[in-house]
Amino acid sequence: QKEVEQNSGPLSVPEGAIASLNCTYSDRGSQSFFWYRQYSGKSPELIMFIYSNGDKEDGRFTAQLNKASQYVSLLIRDSQPSDSATYLCAVKMDSGAGSYQLTFGKGTKLSVIP
């Protein structure tokens, strides 16, 4: 069974701090990794994607990927109350015949305290 694991939280951080969200995956052949943000009652929206080992930065967000450890993380610097949401990790797993599926973790709920 191909799985994506995340701590459910809630993860509480004070405003201005760094929030660190973690995700592990079971399929060693996974190629690309996505972080989605989902506000309560809303649909997910893409924050970042990463496919090479190392760090990828976009504004206050940094995605980190370590394929050897099957681990991907999202760092949010200078956390703001508006960052309070559930963050979903999604992994592209090969489902054969060129098809494409994303497997989602259950999400980590982040609360930024003013």
Partner 1 sequence: DGGITQSPKYLFRKEGQNVTLSCEQNLNHDAMYWYRQDPGQGLRLIYYSQIVNDFQKGDIAEGYSVSREKKESFPLTVTSAQKNPTAFYLCASRELAGIYNEQFFGPGTRLTVL
Instruction: Rank residues 15 and 42 by Cβ distance to partner 1 and give the closer one.
Output: 42
Residue among 24, 23, 22, 27 at smallest CA distance from 2: 27
Backbone angles phi, psi at 30, to 5 degrees: -60, 140
The reply to whether 4 sits near partner 1 by the rule CB under 8 A is: yes
Cis ω on the peptide bond leading into residue 10 (within 30° of 0)? yes
The span from the CA of 6 to the CA of 21, in Å, is 8
The reply to whether 44 sits near partner 1 by the rule CB under 8 A is: yes
Q: How far apart are the first and last CA of the chain?
A: 40
Q: Which of 20, 32, 70, 111 binds partner 1 (CB under 8 A)?
A: 32
Q: How far is the CB of 17 from partner 1 (least distance, A)?
A: 25
Q: Which of 72, 105, 110, 112 binds partner 1 (CB under 8 A)?
A: 105
Q: Which of 30, 34, 110, 112 binds partner 1 (CB under 8 A)?
A: 34
Backbone angles phi, psi at 14, to 5 degrees: -75, 155
Q: Total residues contacting partner 1 (rule CB under 8 A)? A: 23
Q: Which residues bind partner 1 (CB under 8 A)?
A: 4, 8, 31-32, 34, 42-46, 49, 51, 88, 90, 92, 99-102, 104-107
